[in-house]
Amino acid sequence: MALSTAMGWREGLDSGALSAEILVRQSLDRIQRHDGRIKAILSTHPERSLALAREADRRLRAGERTPVLGLPVVLKDNLHWKGTPTTCASRLLDGYQAPYDATVVARLLAAGAIPIAKANMDEFAMGSSGEYSAFGATRNPWDEARVPGGSSSGPTAAVAAGYAPLALGSDTGGSVRLPASFCNVTALRPTYGVLSRYGLTAMASSLDQVGPVGISAADVGAALQVMAGRDPLDSTSVDLPRAGDLFPLRAADLKGVRIGLPIEYWGPGLETGVRGTLTAALERFQDLGAELLDISLPHTRFALDAYYLLCTSEVSSNLARFDGIRYGSRAAHRGGTAAEMIAQTRDLGFGAEVKRRILLGTFCLSKGYYEAFYQKALKARTLIARDFQAAFEQVDLLATPVSPAVAFPLDARTADPLAMYLADVFTVPTPLAGLPALSIPAGFSEGLPVGLQLIAPALADTRLLEVAHPFQQVTNHHLLSPTPFPQEPPHGL
Binding site for ligand GLN (CB under 6 A): 125-128, 151, 170-175, 203, 311, 424
Q: C-beta of 132: minimal distance to ligand GLN in Å?
A: 8
What DSSP string runs through 87-135?
A: -TT-GGGTT-B-SS--HHHHHHHHTT-EEEEEE--SGGG--SSSTT-TT
CA distance 212 to 169: 6
Query: Which C-beta is closer to ligand GLN: that of 126 or that of 309?
Result: 126
Q: Is-catalytic flag, 118?
A: no
Query: Which C-beta is closer to ligand GLN: that of 156 or that of 175?
Result: 175
Q: Identify whether the C-beta of residue 111 lies closer than 8 Å to the C-beta of residue 196.
A: no
Query: Which C-beta is closer to ligand GLN: that of 311 or that of 397?
Result: 311
DSSP three-state, residue 433: helix
Q: Is-catalytic flag, 481?
A: no
Q: C-beta of 152: minimal distance to ligand GLN in Å?
A: 7
Q: In what order do the strands lie in the sheet with 437-445?
A: 41-44, 114-119, 72-76, 166-171, 209-214, 186-189, 437-445, 448-455, 397-401, 258-262, 291-295
Query: Which C-beta is closer to ligand GLN: that of 21 or that of 77?
Result: 77
Alpha helices in 319-408 (DSSP H): 338-349, 352-365, 376-391
Among the options 19, 175, 403, 481, which is catalytic? 175
Query: Which C-beta is closer to ligand GLN: that of 149 or that of 470?
Result: 149
Q: Is-catalytic flag, 170?
A: no
Chain residue whose CB lies nearest ligand GLN = 175
331: how many CB neighbours lie within 10 A of its CB?
Answer: 16
Q: C-beta of 297: minimal distance to ligand GLN in Å?
A: 19
Partnered with residue 210 across adjacent β-strands are: 170
Which of 156, 51, 200 is CA-nearest to residue 114?
51
Residue 123 CB contacts under 8 Å (≥ 6 apart), including other chains: 88, 89, 90, 132, 133, 134, 350, 351, 353, 354
Query: Which C-beta is closer to ligand GLN: that of 204 or that of 459?
Result: 204
Among the options 19, 129, 151, 170, which is catalytic? 151
Query: Which C-beta is closer to ligand GLN: that of 13 or that of 157?
Result: 157
Q: C-beta of 206: minimal distance to ligand GLN in Å?
A: 13
Query: Which C-beta is closer to ligand GLN: that of 84 or that of 430?
Result: 430
Q: CA end-to-end span of the chain, whole Å?
A: 19
Partnered with residue 143 across adjacent β-strands are: 140
Q: C-beta of 108: minimal distance to ligand GLN in Å?
A: 20
Q: C-beta of 296: minimal distance to ligand GLN in Å?
A: 25
CA distance 169 to 57: 26
CA distance 104 to 27: 21
Sort 394 into a burial class: Cβ within 10 Å, 0-12 / 13-18 / 19+. exposed
Q: C-beta of 172: minimal distance to ligand GLN in Å?
A: 3
Which of 253, 370, 267, 365 is CA-nearest to residue 320?
365
342: how many CB neighbours lie within 10 A of its CB?
Answer: 18
Q: C-beta of 113: minimal distance to ligand GLN in Å?
A: 23
CA distance 409 to 483: 19
List active site positions.
Answer: 76, 151, 175
